[in-house]
Amino acid sequence: MPKVLIADDVAGVRRTLRAVLDEAAGLDVVGCAADGGEAVERTLRLQPDVVLMDVRMPGVDGIEAIRRLRAAGSRARVLVLTTSDMDDVVQDALEAGALGFLLKDVASDRLADAVHATARGETVMDPVITRRLVDHWLARPAPEPEVRERLAQLTDRELEVLRLLTRGLSNAQIADELVLGEATVKTHVARLLGKLGVDSRLQAVVLAFGAGVGGPPGPRLS
């Protein structure tokens, strides 16, 4: 059963999130934190699988907390829950090591599903944030030759899997789409991450968007 820690500076929000997750099947809320410093201390002590992290907190904010957790070697997966979809917040949290992003108006059932997905190592993205990431990366200059070279190393199947990742599909959904076993999809994801030189599915998705690979299938890179 995935263990979850909630970090938010508003007591009412912490109570609400805890109530939602306590009612969800298969989740164990092991603690809460009121700021980033406390989130780091309790994560290292309680060893949750997932940290539900607010970004805007006094003192040590959520992004700095993620950086400190990564520096300390924490294996907890961080799902950012925020009221902001601003590009700088998303980009900073991504670079710090967040695995996914949701807005705080997310439905209760979607929140529980997202926590489970994050515990499995899957990328979770609110559609609003995904759209802003796409717009941001499409507005950038053409990708560096090194990026295109890395993408060109992917097999046709790995490129298919990457395109489906950019659409926000889980491993199970990709398996259904490509008529493959879920274990096979996991292998493809692991291999494409290695070839792209990134640590997470989310980083692979951002790199793909920046190179114009996201969305429906298109011509193979040459």
Distance from C-alpha of 56 to C-alpha of 84, rounded to nearest angstrom: 9
CATH number at residue 145: 1.10.10.10
- Confidence tier at 131 by pLDDT (50, 70, 90): low
- Give domain status of residue 216, yes or no: no
Mean pLDDT, residues 34-54: 96
- Confidence tier at 40 by pLDDT (50, 70, 90): very high
Between 213 and 162, the more confident residue is: 162
- My answer on whether 86 and 121 are in the same domain is yes
User: Pairing relation of β-strands 28-33 and 50-53?
Assistant: unpaired
Between 86 and 98, the more confident residue is: 98
Mean pLDDT, residues 190-212: 82
163-192: pLDDT as tens digits = 888 877 778 888 999 999 989 999 999 999
- Give domain status of residue 102, yes or no: yes
- My answer on whether 131 and 185 are in the same domain is no
CA distances in angstroms from 13 to 10, 53, 56, 66, 96, listed in the order given: 5, 12, 13, 20, 24
What pLDDT sits at residue 217? 41
pLDDT greater than 50 at residue 221: no
Question: How many domains does the structure of the chain reveal?
Answer: 2
pLDDT greater than 70 at residue 125: yes
Q: What is the average pLDDT score of the chain? A: 84
